[in-house]
Each structure stands twice: as structure tokens, then as C-alpha cells.
Copies of this chain bind each other. A is one copy, B any other.
Amino acid sequence: MVRYINVKSRHRNEFIDITEDVANAAKEAGVKSGICYIYVPHTTAAITINEGADPSVQRDIQQALTRLIPHEYNYSHREGNADAHIKSTLVGVSHYVLVDEGKLVLGTWQSIYFCEFDGPRHRRVAMKFIASEKCIEPRK
């Protein structure tokens, strides 16, 4: 079973906090201990886990990416979003989170962000859970 979060971006470059959606999906899946697999089925978006307390961090990440990978450039791809594809590869579309005692194992400052690089668009984030208790083999 694959679970989906619907995301609606409003800007070309935008980070959208999906931590709560992922936490709710983990609760619904009933996983006590295991892995939460997050996957973006798009080629101009990505997933990152980074600071959630100060929104300026997200802006700094977005601006650094745009400084390194400018929107306007002599790209071969003619759809005007080559920069978004490149950013997607640099940030990555698959990142997991550990689950323990029914909760996502996130650091104090960590939030999970859907990274939009070619918005505004309607997007989906796919998730799957594996519970480890039934999989781990005992030592002997």
C-alpha cells in the first residue's frame, strides 16, 4: 500500500513543511517501530529534511540553489525548467525517516520539506511504511 500526501505549491521555488502529514500517515499505518519511506514521483521537485524553527533557513537553501543553478541559462532542455530538474537531482527524491515508539525519529530542529522547484503546481508525495519488529531476526 502506498499512501499519498497532496501538496499545492504557490511559488516557483517553495519549501512546504509536510512533517505533520508524514507523522499522521505513520500513525494511521500503525507502525510502532520501522521506517517511513518518503518518495517524490516528480522530476522537478525533491525532499529535504532541515531546520524548521527559522524560516530564513529555507530561504537561504533556496537562494543558494538558485545562485548555483540559475533559472535562465544556456540549457538544452527547452521547457524552461532545466534548473528545476538539476535541483531535483542535487536534493534527491527519496529520503526516509526512522520510526520508533510510534513516532518519527527527527532531531530537535528537523522538519520534513517538500521542495518545489517548478511551481506553482499540484504535487503528490508518496509514502510507504515498513515495521521492523516482525522483520528483525533474533541474535540466535
Question: Are the CB atoms of A88 and B130 closer together than 8 Å?
Answer: no
Whether the Cβ atoms of B105 and A2 lie closer than 8 Å is yes
Q: How many residues of A contact B (CB 8 A)?
A: 69
Q: Check B92 against A2 for contact (C-beta < 8 Å).
A: no
- Distance, CA A108 to CA B126, complexed state (A): 13
**B94 & A138 in contact (Cβ 8 Å cutoff):** no
Q: Mark A109-133, 1 if CB is under 8 A from B, else 0.
A: 1100000000000000010111111
Q: Does A22 contact B (CB under 8 A)?
A: no
**Distance to closest chain B CB from A28 (angstroms):** 8
A51 touches B85 (CB 8 A): yes
Taking the complex as formed, is A42 at the interface, i.e. its CB lies under 8 A from any CB of chain B?
yes
